[in-house]
Chains A and B, each alone.
Chain A
C-alpha cells in the first residue's frame, strides 16, 4: 500500500492532481445542484404568489 501511495517518488505531483480533479468534480456537482434548487424554490414561491393573487 505504501509503495503504491509513494508512486515511485512522484506522489507530490500525482496525488495533488487527483485531489484537485476530485475537488473540481465535487464542487461542480454542488454548484449545479444549488443553482437548480434555488431556481426551483424561486419558481415555487412565484407559483404560490400567483395562485394567492388569483
Chain B
C-alpha cells in the first residue's frame, strides 16, 4: 500500500493548503444536506404512531449523539497518530476536535432530556446510555482542561493524547449500553437485527441530517485545525507565503 499521501498530510504546509481547499466543499454540502434533512424531518415525515410529533427531536438528537462519538473517535485516532508518529498535524487535529465534540455531546444530552420529559416523564434518568454520554462530556472537558493546564505544547500533546486514548473505552460502552443493560433508552435507532427500524419517510431525513452533521464537523474541524497549525508553526517560513497568498 502506498503511504505517501499519509506522510504528505503530516506536512503542515500541505495540510494547511489541502484543508483550505476542502472547507468550502464540506460547508456547502453540509448546508444542502442539512436543509434537505430539515425539510424532510420537520415537514414531510409523518408523525410517529406512538410518539406523535414529539419524535421529530430525533432529527437533531441522533445526529448530535453520533457526532459526539465520531468527534471523540477522530480525536483519539489523531492523538494516537500524533503519539506514535510524532506528527504535529495529528495533534493539531486532535486538539481541534475536542471543543466541537464537547458542544455536540451537550446538545445530544440536552435534546435527549427534552425528548425524555414528554416520553419518559422525566428530564433525566440514571440510565446507562445517558450516564455513559455524560462521561463522554466529562472526558472532553478533562481533555481540554488538561491541554490548557500545560504550557508546553509538546507535553500537553502527549498528556492529552494518553487521556484521549484511555477514554476510548467509553465509546463501545455508549454504543452497546442499550444491549448490555436494562435501559429506558430505546434500542438502536437505525438498525435492528440488520433491518431499518423505521420507514424510509423517516429514515431518509435522519440519514441526511446525520450526513449534514458529519460534513459540518469536517468543515469546522478543518477551520480549527488550520488555526491550530498556524499557532504551532508560527516561526516557520512557509507561514508568510501561505498567509500572503490569501489562503
Contacts and interface: CB of A to CB of B under 8 A. Distances in A.
Interface of A: 4, 7-10, 13-14, 16-18, 20-21, 24-25, 27-29, 31-33, 35-36, 38-40, 42-44, 46-47, 50-51
Contacts of B100: 28, 32
Nearest to B56: A14
A10 B53 contact: yes
Given A8-B54, A25-B216, A43-B234, A17 B226 contact: no
B99 A31 contact: yes
19 contacts: A7-B56, A8-B54, A9-B52, A9-B53, A13-B114, A13-B115, A17-B61, A17-B111, A17-B114, A18-B42, A20-B107, A20-B111, A27-B103, A29-B220, A32-B100, A35-B223, A35-B224, A40-B230, A44-B243
Chain A's interface: helix, strand, loop or mixed, by majority? helix
A12 to B, nearest CB: 8
Contacts of B47: 8
A29 B243 CA distance: 21
Contacts of A35: 223-224, 227-228
B223 to A, nearest CB: 4
A10 B118 contact: yes
A51 B237 CA distance: 11
B240 interface: yes
Interface in B54-79: 54, 56-57, 60-61, 64
Contact of A14 (B57, B103, B235): B57
B231 interface: yes
Interface string B112-135: 001101100000000000000000
Contact of B243 (A14, A27, A47, A51): A47
Given A17-B60, A21-B64, A25-B216, A40 B243 contact: yes
Task: Report, nearest first, the 10 A-B pairs whose CB atoms are least far apart.
Answer: A8-B53, A10-B54, A47-B240, A39-B230, A36-B227, A39-B227, A32-B223, A7-B53, A17-B111, A21-B60
A39 B106 CA distance: 27
Given A24-B104, A28-B100, A46 B234 contact: yes
Nearest to A37: B227
Contacts of A20: 107, 110-111
B26 to A, nearest CB: 12
Contacts of A42: 230-231, 234
Contact of B107 (A24, A32, A39, A46): A24
